[in-house]
Amino acid sequence: MASVRVLVGTRKGAFILMADGKRDQWEVTGPHFAGWEMYHLKGSSVDPNRIYASQSSGWFGQLIQRSDDGGNSWEPVGNEFVYDGVPGTHQWYDGTQHPWEFNRVWHLEPSLTDPDVVYAGVEDAALFRSSDGGHSWQELSGLRKHGSGPLWQPGAGGMCLHTIVLDPSNAGRIVVAISAAGAFRSDDGGTTWQPINRGLRSEGIPDADAEVGHCVHNIAISPARPGVLFMQKHWDVMRSDDGGDNWHEISGNLPSDFGFPIAVHSHEPDTVYVVPIKSDSEHFPPDGRLRVYRSRSGGHEWEALTNGLPQENCYVNILRDAMAVDTLDSCGIYFGTTGGQVYASADGGDNWRAIVRDLPPVLSVEVQTLP
């Protein structure tokens, strides 16, 4: 019987949750790396026992850990992230130019074809690649140097490259998102890049439909239809039907179109999930009710999913990397909260329950479906 492994990164360590395909009994192990910020853990789809983890602290900096046995044991690998050439400057909060400085790794994205290849999205925003299992890292500097870099500026959480989407149908295509610069795409494996923000409008920047400067929070695709991208922006839920060349809004009847994560059902490419958050200053669900919203029409029309989720006095947030789906026949949806709960639905979102609670604030949730 298939099983599911959920990788949870929190503010004070990592946790691994295991269940069989029924997903009703969960075994929790951890904390791994207790006391460290675990921004992201993700397993290779080629070799599911190969898991990469981003471990950091304000005292001791950045480490990358790797497991080759499904998270039972870990080895530190390379943690030297050096920008290519003279790093240059980007916009700072006060509008002045600020030197590029490495702070941390926000997101690790293993290759879809080679377990030794993995991409790292870092703060200050840049994309790195390792081809030796994480031991050494090289910047794909065509992104930072393509021309608009000096116009990028940090969002409230820092100037981070937080989203990396690999196209399973096109080995050369990589889509990334940066707060607050926007979305960018490479069609040659990361050598050259172009902004893909046409159709985005952001009222918080001087030119609302500028080529760059948008605070994109997360991007998701369906492996079944990778040309269609879904985006949760600072405000607005967006969709592109042409790989990011053009975007249109699909917020429809959402109670708020602010939010962080977005996910697509693993078998139904028009079934999309978001978690509306009240506003950019009030990072909690509207009305204190934790509701996942599901669209089965690729956007515009959304239904609230509430069964098993707290419907009063709930003021947690769900961060951008804290929602994921499994690939079982009845698609499972998972998300973690800043209140330390991880909620799961084994039936596409109709019914939810906390599979663990009272963890440190959850930074990321990833799911592996194991044979």
Partner 1 sequence: MTIRVLLPAHLRHLARVKGEVELTIDGPITQRSVLDTLEAAYPMLRGTVRDHSTKQRRPFVRFFACEQDLSHEAPDTPLPEAVVTGAEPFLIVGAMAGG
- Give me the residues that bind partner 1 (CB under 8 A), please: 35-36, 57-63, 76, 79-80, 82
What is the Cβ-side half-sphere exposure of residue 211, based on CA atoms within 13 angstroms? 8
Burial (CB count <10 Å: 0-12, 13-18, 19+), residue 264: buried
The total of other beta-carbon atoms located within 10 Å of residue 245's CB is 14
CB of 55 or CB of 222, closer to partner 1: 55
Q: Which is nearer to partner 1, 63 or 367 (CB)?
A: 63
- Between 54 and 148, name the residue whose CB sits nearer to partner 1: 54
Nearer to partner 1, 44 or 62 (CB): 62
State the nearest-atom distance from the C-beta of 10 to partner 1, in Å: 14
Which lies closer to partner 1 via its Cβ, residue 56 or residue 345?
56
Q: How far is the CB of 331 from partner 1 (least distance, A)?
A: 38
Phi-psi region of 133 (alpha: psi -120 to 50; beta: other; left: phi over 0): left
Distance (Å, whole) CA 61 – CA 57 = 5
- For partner 1, the closer of residues 62 and 91 by Cβ is 62
Work out how close the CB of 37 gets to partner 1 at its nearest, in angstroms, rounded to a whole number.
11
- Indicate the residue among 34 and 171 with the shorter CB distance to partner 1: 34
Smallest separation (angstroms) from partner 1 to the CB of 298: 43
Could you please report the per-residue DSSP string of 131-182?
A: SSTTSS-EE-TTTTTSS-GGG---BTTBSEEEEEEE-TT-TT-EEEEEETTE
Taking CA atoms, 274 is separated from 7, 68, 71, 314, in Å, by: 20, 32, 29, 17
Separation between Cα atoms, residue 185 and residue 165, nearest integer Å: 9
Q: How many CA atoms lie within 13 A of 48 on its CB side?
A: 12
Strand order through the sheet with 61-67: 37-43, 51-57, 61-67, 75-76
- CB burial of 275-294 (b: ≥16 within 10 Å; e: otherwise) equals bbbbeeeebbbbeebbbbbb
**Which tokens belong to 175?**
């889509």
Judged by DSSP in three states, 246 sits in: coil
CB of 202 to partner 1, least distance (A): 32
User: Least distance (Å) from partner 1 to the CB of residue 87?
Assistant: 12
- Cβ at position 153, least distance to partner 1 in Å: 23
In the bound state with partner 1, the residue whose beta carbon lies nearer, of 79 and 89, is 79
Shortest distance, position 51 Cβ to partner 1, whole Å: 18
